[in-house]
Amino acid sequence: MAPFLTDVGSTRSDKENSMTCRLLALLGLMTAWLCCFDVSYVVAAELPTLDQRFADENVDEVPDFQRHVVPLMSRLGCNGRSCHGSFQGRGGFQLSLFGYDFQADHDAMTKGDEPRVNLTEIDESLIVAKPTDEYSHEGGERFKLGSWEHRVFKNWIADGAKFDKDQVAKLERLEVTPAEVLFGADPEQVQLKAIAVWADGTREDVTPLCRYTTNDGEIADVDGDGVISSGEKGDTHVIVAYDKAVISVPVLRPVSDLTGAKYPQVAANTKIDELVLSKLRKLGITPSPVASDEEFLRRVNLDIAGTLPTPDEVRAFVADTDPNKRHAKVNELLETPAYVAKWTTLLCDITGNNDEQLNNVSPVRLGPSQEWYDWIYRRVEQNMPYDELATGIIMARSRESGESYREYCEEMSNLYRKNESFAERDTLTHYWARLNFRTPEDRAIGFAYAFMGIRIQCAQCHKHPFDVWSKQDFDDFKTFFAQARFTRQPRRTDAAYEEYQALVKELDVQGKNGGEMRRDIAKKLQQGKTVPFPEVELLPTAAIFRQPNRGKRDRNMPKPDMMANILGEESVDLSQVEDIREPLMKWLRSENNPYFAKSIVNRVWAVYFNVGIVDPVDDLSLGNPPSNGPLLDYLAEGFVKNGYDMKWLHREIVGSDTYQRTWKPNDTNRMDYRNFSRAIPRRLPAEVAYDIVNQATSNDKTLENYAATLEDRAMSIPGTSPQGKARNAQYALQVFGRSTRDSNCECDRSMEASLLQTVYLQNDSEVLKRLTDNGGWVAELEKEINGNPGVDQQLERRVEQGRDLIKSGQQRIAKMRQNGAKAEAIQQAVKKLAAAKSRLEVLERQLHRQKLPAAEKSSPNDIASLVEEAYLRTLSRLPDAEEKTIAERHFDEVGNPVDGIRDLMWALVNTKEFIVNH
């Protein structure tokens, strides 16, 4: 305004002066008016792109090293992993990968014996001369002489090739438009625009300085200028990177013309359905209908409890007319021991319960993997909020506040002597005891996998290529895992060391080697002695000083500053906390944490849908965005608002039509594997695959109680090395890809199909034994058909008990109606009565078979009944007409019903329908 005001003088005409005054008055009113509003609405002027500003050969602008030079080198590929950004560099010149370390890169260009920048002979600078010569430069020509890129480098060098490490600018955000690209039916192109918004208020169009990558080149290709070209139909993301920002842009191309007004009416009965359908509508994908009762029942039993429904359950569920029966079934399954075991196994996978890594946990080798399993099992059984369960692992410490080392050892000795459960202890110290969890680096990586669902290991050496984490971020993060450690005995500088030495002396085990000492300690423990135990302790931080030669804390000494960032999210003064894991746990549990809730929600979703909303489930990086961001946000926010209630999460997911849809595709969703328009047939986890083979072939009594008992279940094997009778399962679990738990990576478990799995089901002696075993269903039938002498008295008693139960149930319902009981309570009683009637029918059929003469046990009617029972045991449905005809024909051909049912069971166990969940 200053030049304008100074021009207002007496030389101007009165008319001009009058106009000027009016303009000034108007300007004043506008200023006052604007002051009434939030100034954030006033957007700073936007600098045009660098290629436009440097198009003129006479440009005198000096580019900024951080904002322009380094991003331009990234765009040209100079600091890529296949060029100078590799660990070894290239041609004696090394840059930080993708330019994360500005100071190191500046030093690499301007210092050393052969700097890449020549301030006196600019054109001789290697960062100019090499990339413009396609013959002398191994990477070929990267830009031309006289191009805008050439001028950027020249002007920077001409100004002294400056960079001030104390003036590193902060990028507030990167605004990319359009935020979503929706292509039409015909091939199209869309230009992205990227605006860098800096902390000083500067806004600059950095479109030609960004790095662009696509997550699926067949669906969308993107060039170096940010132009997206549509390809095949479907959806993916284009990733835009600049400075520390990484932005994902969804790109969609409809698979059909059923979009907009043409999209059919599909009910959205839950919020999940609404969010899933919102994306399907854009893609022109119509979902499959809701599955039949049989299909739903089998799927939900396997997903929640890792167990097949029994034939009785299938019959009762199909016959039930209650519209809320699916909801009731979910609640019923969530109360079974099988549910607890299945999800305990998942949490043992995630946290790393591995026998081989735990041989230093107990002085008596009593099975630390079992203790680990029991500790988690107890909390899943109690439905402890997930954040509290995680806190018990992450904040684990052996001694309570104020507890001496001897008191701790007395407590642990009593626990083992009295054979009490380790699950009673508040925290899971075993998590910190693993041999592969010793260094802060290993702990940081494993922790990030387990509780945050991220892969941070790349940042050990360089900036993560698809996220914002730098090497400094990793170094700060690992600091939070440097204090807690698992140790066999207290440090010599710790007061507890004297107590340890006294215990060893009392036990008279000094000077013995490790194995001998452990055996002696185990004997002493059984004799009632208190023995020393290893423990998780907290090392003093560098902020805590000690008096010379005393090992005691001097609380009067000042504490220096110890600042660390939690992955750039939150700055913590470590000198202000005794346990530096506390601020980490507080950050994890904060309502807006971007990883903690999303990580477990995404893992649970993946169990139900074969693929996570983010896939792989342990890669929640900015460069690997969710297939449905609003869906993941909704579930994570709801999970936190509902107190990290795992059962809420299960009910919310399983109660949706999205989960309950059939696997059978239609023309629009046949190739949909990531947008949840249908169920995807998927391999069963190794433990479930093993268990259902045993369940399907077991005798009737075992089958009836399979979800209520965990005896001999692979799902209840605690660690990675099955012991006792469970050793029989070792080979099968290995074949079906049980988690090795070597790390916390999702890759430790394999869900891929293999030839060995087919060979196992067809020819393995364990499977064949199940079809001939004395305790199995086929063996039971053989005894009946071949005239087993006498009638099973126990079966007769069970039939009589069943009849009495039905009679009392009918009387109870009549009384409830007479007394005006609530309709809901009456309905539940009626359902229980129907289930009891279904069980009685099966028992009565068995009893009837036993009473039949041997000749009548092979009648056509009875064969048909056996065929139906075999299908219900394995595939949880009745056979169709063709299947029934083929099976009955086989019975006729073999002549022996026992051989016929054995063959049929073998054939059914070897179908894809049996070994996959659908």
DSSP 668-682: TTTT-SSS-SS---E
Which H or E run includes 181? Answer: strand 181-182
| Grouped pLDDT means (10 residues each) for the chain, 918 residues | 34 43 40 37 73 91 90 79 65 69 80 83 82 71 84 90 86 95 91 95 94 94 95 96 92 94 95 98 97 98 97 94 95 95 96 90 78 96 97 94 91 88 93 91 93 84 68 85 89 84 84 72 86 88 41 43 79 86 94 93 97 94 94 97 97 98 97 96 95 93 86 91 83 92 88 91 91 85 68 73 86 86 80 78 70 54 87 96 94 89 95 96
- Give the span between the Cα atoms of 165 and 181, in whole angstroms: 38
Q: How far apart are CA 180 and CA 438, in angstroms?
A: 44
| Residue 675 phi, psi (nearest 5) | -115, 10
Q: Which fold has domain 171-253?
A: Immunoglobulin-like (2.60.40)
The DSSP symbol for 355 reads G
Instruction: To the nearest 10°, report the CA torsion of 327, 330, 336, 340.
Output: -140
Beta strands in 59-132 (DSSP E): none
* Residue 423: HSE in the Cβ half-sphere, 13 Å Cα cutoff: 13
Residue 888 DSSP SS3: helix
Look up tokens 């060029």; give the residue: 83
pTM score of the predicted model? 0.85
Structure tokens at 550: 């005393």
Report the distance separating Cα 389 and Cα 380, nearest Å.
9
> Mind giving me the DSSP string for 618-673?
T---TTS--TTHHHHHHHHHHHHHTTS-HHHHHHHHHTSHHHHB-S---TTTTT-S
Distances (CA, A) of 641 to 270, 597, 604, 629: 17, 11, 17, 18
Phi and psi dihedrals of 916, rounded to 5? -120, 155
708 DSSP assignment: T
Ramachandran assignment for 781, one of left (phi > 0), alpha (psi -120 to 50 degrees), beta (any other): alpha
Strands (E), 289-396: none
Q: Domain locations in the chain?
A: 2-41, 50-167, 171-253, 272-333+596-682, 438-489+534-549+561-583, 791-853
Enclosing H/E stretch for 564: strand 563-565
Nearest to 489 by CA among 566, 420, 408, 551: 408
Burial class (CB in 10 A: 0-12, 13-18, 19+), 323: exposed
pLDDT for 811 equals 87
Burial label for 856, CB within 10 Å (0-12, 13-18, 19+), is exposed
Query: CA 596, CA 590: separation in Å to the nearest integer?
Result: 9
> Do 50 and 155 contact (CB within 8 A), yes or no?
no
SS3 (DSSP) at 542: coil
pLDDT of residue 40: 38
Length of the chain, in residues: 918
d(CA 308, CA 703): 9
Between helix 325-333 and helix 646-654 the angle, nearest 10°, is 150
**What does the H/E/C string look like for 112-179?**
CCCCCCCCCCHHHCHHHHCCCCCCCCCCCCCCCCCCHHHHHHHHHHHCCCCCCHHHCCCEEEEEEECC
pLDDT at res. 788:
53
**Tally of CA atoms within 13 A in the half-sphere of 144 that contains its CB:** 3
Per-residue confidence (pLDDT) for residue 41, from 0 to 100: 37
pLDDT score for 756:
93
Angstrom distance (rounded) from CA 868 to CA 878: 6
- In Å, how far from its chain's centre is CA 301? 22
Q: Alpha-carbon distance 673 to 679, whole Å? A: 9
Q: How far apart are CA 379 and CA 386, in angstroms?
A: 9
Give the residue from 716, 51, 76, 817 showing the smallest Cα distance to 340: 716
How far apart are the C-alpha atoms of 75 and 85, rounded to whole Å? 13
Determine if residue 791 is left, alpha or beta; phi over 0 gives left, psi from -120 to 50 gives alpha, anything else beta.
beta
* Cα distance between residue 847 and residue 841, in whole Å: 10
Please identify which residue in the block is written with the tokens 């077991």.
Answer: 698
**Residue listed under structure tokens 């064949």:** 768
Q: Are the C-beta atoms of residues 587 and 569 closer than 8 Å to each other?
A: yes
